Amino acid sequence: MSDDHRYTIMTVCTGNICRSPMAQIVLATRFRDAGLDGSVDVLSSGVSDEEYGHPIDPRAVTVLRDRGYEIPRHHFAHRIDRDEIDRTDLFLPMTAAHMRALLRMLPPEDRGAVRMYRSFDPALNAADVGIDDRLDLVDPWYGGPREFNTAIDQIDAVAPYIVDWVRDRLDA
């Protein structure tokens, strides 16, 4: 990796208002705490434009704040675009459905950079890190505090493993 390129991670969900911004905030915090924020950018997007322009869901904001995470002053939900695809090194879809949609958007040479977010969780014993519905991050959209807390628990649990994996690639 060249000195002028920051390693870029894109978290991806449906509308970019719940899971992907939650994962973006958690990962950005973890990379900062690991001293890697100068080398890594964490972004988020959706595979749909149905929530275009919306802020982070207030329920997601609540669980993030409850866990001590800082909320960015501005979030603009959007569908992943060509520029983001071109500059992303690691795509982290939240579910197998997101992964399938994302893979349809990517050129064949970029498809190897896609890993489901929870595929990094060693507790799941995922032999195949490809498309696997068992690795889906819970969808909190139709739920309440319990579902949003479950989602943030899943995101938090996996984040250190993603940081370690990226650190290994940066050190290589």
Distance CA 70, CA 81 (A): 26
Q: Which residues on neighbouring strands pair with residue 91, listed in sequence order?
A: 10, 114
The catalytic residue positions are 13, 19, 139
pLDDT single digits (tens) 108-136: 999 999 999 999 998 886 555 555 788 99
Task: Report, in angstroms and rounded to the nearest whole number, the Rg of the chain calculated over CA atoms.
Answer: 15
pTM reported for the whole predicted model: 0.94
Give the residue from 44, 37, 70 showing the smallest Cα distance to 167.
Answer: 37
pLDDT at 1: 47
> Quick one: average pLDDT of 92-103?
96
Q: Where are the alpha helices (DSSP H) in 11-144?
A: 19-33, 58-66, 82-87, 96-105
Which sequence spans correspond to the domains of the chain? Answer: 7-171
Question: What's the CATH code, domain 7-171?
Answer: 3.40.50.2300
SS3 24: helix
SS3 144: coil
